[in-house]
Amino acid sequence: MLADPGQKKIQVIKEVRVLTGLGLREAKDLVDGSGHSPQTVLRGLSEADAERARLTLEAAGAWVKLVPSTDSPVPLPVGLAKPPGWGWVNRPQMVCAHCQQLGGVATKLEKVKKGVSGGKATAAVLTAGVSLFATGLSRKEQVTSARCSNCGVTWQL
């Protein structure tokens, strides 16, 4: 249980996101709520995984209390064991495009800005370019990013 976020609340929010896979708003609400009463961050972890999660949150500045659970243990989310960042999923069957090693690749979906969309280009022509100042030049596309834990290279699929 997260009893107190401590002085480095932003670091604690980042670590809660990595551990749980929560979005920014949900992680912030969980950490902010711990200032009033202890909040459960993870449930059903093995003793070793719970201890690793506790050490991670305490390193970020939080005060954590472990509470024994009657649930059966579940594996710790990949974000703690593999590359840092929210949403990374380990892909043991993938081969790294750079070092050609099997098993060290993790992937995540993310939105990336790409070029000028057709709608924005049309609006720019009709408004003599004024709309580009208001809306920007790019559009967002969803891509899959991959990261190798062996060589550290990141690429997009």
Q: Report domain extents, the chain.
A: 2-81, 89-156
A 10 A CB-CB count for 67 gives 9
Say which residues have a Cβ less than 8 Å from residue 95's Cβ, sequence separation at least 6.
101, 102, 105
Residue, of 80 and 137, whose pLDDT is higher: 137
CATH, domain range 2-81:
3.30.1390.10
> What separation in angstroms does the CA of 38 have from each of 6, 8, 19, 44?
13, 17, 17, 17
The Cα angle at residue 138 between residues 135 and 144, in degrees rounded to 5: 135
Give residue 42's pLDDT.
81
Say which residues have a Cβ less than 8 Å from residue 77's Cβ, sequence separation at least 6.
18, 19, 20, 21, 42
**Residue 102, token pair as written in the block:** 């099997």
Read off the amino acid at residue 128: A
Predicted confidence (pLDDT) per residue in 139-148, tens digit: 677 778 888 8
Q: What is the pLDDT confidence band of residue 33, given thresholds at 50, 70 and 90?
A: confident
Handedness of CA 43, 46, 51, 57 (dihedral sign): negative
| The pTM of the whole model exceeds 0.75 | no
Predicted confidence (pLDDT) per residue in 88-124, tens digit: 777 777 788 788 888 788 888 777 777 666 666 666 6
Predicted confidence (pLDDT) per residue in 2-21, tens digit: 878 888 889 888 888 888 88
Q: How far apart are CA 137 and CA 115, in angstroms?
A: 7
Residue 133: strand pairing partners: none
